[in-house]
Amino acid sequence: MSYVQRVLDKLIEKNDGQPEFIQAATEVLTSLEPVIEANPQYEKNAILERITEPERQLMFRVPWVDDNGNIQVNRGFRIQFNSAIGPYKGGLRLHPSVKLGTIKFLGFEQIFKNSLTGLAIGGGKGGSDFDPKGKSDREVMAFCQSFMTELFRHIGATTDVPAGDIGTGAREIGYMYGQYKRLTTKYEGVLTGKGLNYGGSLARTEATGYGLVYFLDEMLKDHNIDLAGKTVVISGSGNVAIYACQKAQTLGAKVVAMSDSNGYIYDEDGIKLDTVKRIKEVERGRIKEYVKDHPTAKYTEGKGIWTIPCDVALPCATQNELNEEDAKTLIANGVIAVAEGANMPSTIEATNAFIEKGVLFAPGKAANAGGVATSALEMSQNASMTAWTFEEVDGKLHNIMKNIYKNAAEAAEKYGHKDNLVVGANIAGFVKVADAMIAQGVC
C-alpha cells in the first residue's frame, strides 16, 4: 500500500465524524502521489502525518446575552494548522452549520492556498456556530466581544491573524478589533478586512471576487479563449459573488444568474449588480427581492442554479454546493470553464467529471486565493504604517493571481498532469510548506 494511502486510512480512522476534512485531505493527498513518489524525503520526514495534524486546535465557550435578556451559548473554534512559512492566517466562519470538522477542512485548505500566494502566511481558520442572520447589531456585537474575550490570548500580528469568511464581514471584524484592542492595549494588524479608517486596505473587499476573475481570465487566455461575450452563472450573492460579478462584467462577460441559500434569480438581460449590492450589502435582505426592481427577471426557490446554460460557472456560495449531477448538467449544457470562488464548492465526483470532459477547472485554493493574499498585503501596510492606493493593491493582486496560475499550471505539467490545476495547485502549494517543515526539524 502506498504511503499516501496508509496516511489516508489512518486519518479516516482518527477523524470520525469529520467528512469534509476527510474529503479535503483525500483530494490533496491523492493528487500529491507523483511528487511523493519522486521525493522520498517527504515520507522519511513523516510530512503527510504532520501536515494533516493541526499544530493546535482551540475550542471554547462563547456566552452572550440576546435582546430578550436570555443567555445564549455558542461554540468558538480556532485551528492553528501550520506555521511553517508564516503566522497562522485565515478567516472566521460564523454559520449555524459550523463544526470542528468544518473548520478543520477550511484550515487544511488554507495551508496550501496561503502557500500558493507566494507570501509569508501559514494556515489557520476559526469560527463559530453563531448565526448572524436575523440578529440585531447589538446581539452581533455581544457575540463578537465574547468570542474575542477568549480568542485574544491566542492571536497577534505575528502569531495568528484572523479575517472574514461566511458570516464575518466588516461589521463583525470591527467589533472584534475593538475588543482585542481593549483587552491588549495593542493597536496592531491582528485582524484583516478592517475598515479603511482604522487600518484596512483598499481593494480588500473586492479582492476575492476580482482575484477569481483574474485567475479565470488567465486560464482562458492560456487556451486562447476570450472572457468577453461569455455567459456566466455565479452562485451566492455574498462578498465573493458580488465582486466576481463586477469584474466579470467589466471584462465584458454577461452574468445571468446569482443565488442565496433560499433560491436563485435569472436575468436574461444581465444581472444589475447595483440592485444585488443594495439588497445584500445595505438591506441584508434576500435575493428574491431582486425581481421587485426587475420584473422581467425570474426567481426560483431552492437549488437548481446549475441547470441554467452557461459558458462559465463560478460557484461562490459554500462547500459541496455543486455535485456530480450538477456537473453533468453543466457539461451537457456546454460549459467551458468552472472557477471556484468558494472553498471546496465542487464534490470530488463533480471535479473529476469536469476534468475528464476537458472542462477548464480552477480549484478554489488557487482561484480564490486573492482574498487572503490581499489580507497579507493589509498586514504589510499595517506593519510599515502606510496605506497604498487602490491601484497599487489591485495591481499586486493581479500579479499574484497570474503567478498562482503559472505556478499551478507548471507544476501540473512537470508531474505529468498537464492542464490539471487540481494536481498543479496542490503540488505547488505543498512543496514550499513541506520543504520549510523539513528545514525546521521535527516540530
Per CB under 6 A, residues contacting ligand GLU are 89-91, 163-165, 192, 343, 371-372, 375
Provide the grid cell at 409: 499550471
Least separation in angstroms between residue 114's CB and ligand GLU is: 8
Three-state DSSP class for residue 311: coil
Q: Can you tell me the distance from the alpha carbon of 232 to that of 217, in angstroms, rounded to the nearest whole number? A: 13
How far, in Å, are 10, 66, 443 from residue 158 at the CA level? Answer: 33, 34, 19
Q: Supply φ then ψ for residue 242, to 5 degrees.
A: -60, -45
CA distances from 246 to 11, 212, 252, 303, 440 (A): 41, 11, 10, 23, 43
Cβ 192 vs Cβ 161: under 8 Å: yes
The answer to whether the beta carbons of residues 228 and 252 sit under 8 Å apart is yes
On whether the CB atoms of residues 424 and 411 are closer than 8 A, the answer is: yes
Interior/surface letters 166-203, b for 16+ CB within 10 angstroms, e for the rest? bbbbbbbbbbbbebbbeeeeeebbbbbbbeeeebbbbb
Our CB check for ligand GLU shows the closer of 128 and 343 to be 343
Residue 430 grid coordinates:
505543498
Rounded CA separation 99/28 (Å): 21
Judged by beta carbon, residue 208 or residue 351, the one nearer ligand GLU is 208
Q: What cell does 167 get? A: 458570516
Question: Residue 198 gets which letter from DSSP?
Answer: G
Catalytic residue among 89, 104, 113, 125: 125
- Strand residue runs (E) in 195-286: 231-235, 254-259, 263-266
Task: State the nearest-atom distance from the C-beta of 365 to ligand GLU, in Å.
Answer: 9
For ligand GLU, the closer CB: 215 or 415: 215
Q: How far is the CB of 392 from ligand GLU (least distance, A)?
A: 18
Q: Is 92 or 253 the residue whose CB approaches ligand GLU more closely?
A: 92
Q: How far is the CB of 151 from ligand GLU (least distance, A)?
A: 14
> Minimum CB separation from ligand GLU for residue 36, in Å?
26
Partners of residue 434 on adjacent β-strands: none
Nearer to ligand GLU by C-beta: 87 or 424? Answer: 87
> Of the two residues 8 and 209, which places its CB atom closer to ligand GLU in the complex?
209
- Which lies closer to ligand GLU via its Cβ, residue 271 or residue 433? 433
Least distance CB 256 / ligand GLU (angstroms): 26
Residue closest to ligand GLU when measured from CB atoms: 91
> Is 113 an active-site residue?
no
Q: At closest approach, how far in Å is the CB of 78 from ligand GLU?
A: 12
The b-or-e profile of 270-295 (16+ CB within 10 A means b, else e) is ebbbebbbebbeeeeeebbbbbeeee
CB of 165 to ligand GLU, least distance (A): 4
Nearer of residues 142 and 404 to ligand GLU, judged by Cβ: 404
Strand, coil or helix: 85: coil
Dig out the grid coordinates for 228 from the structure: 468577453
Active site residues: 125
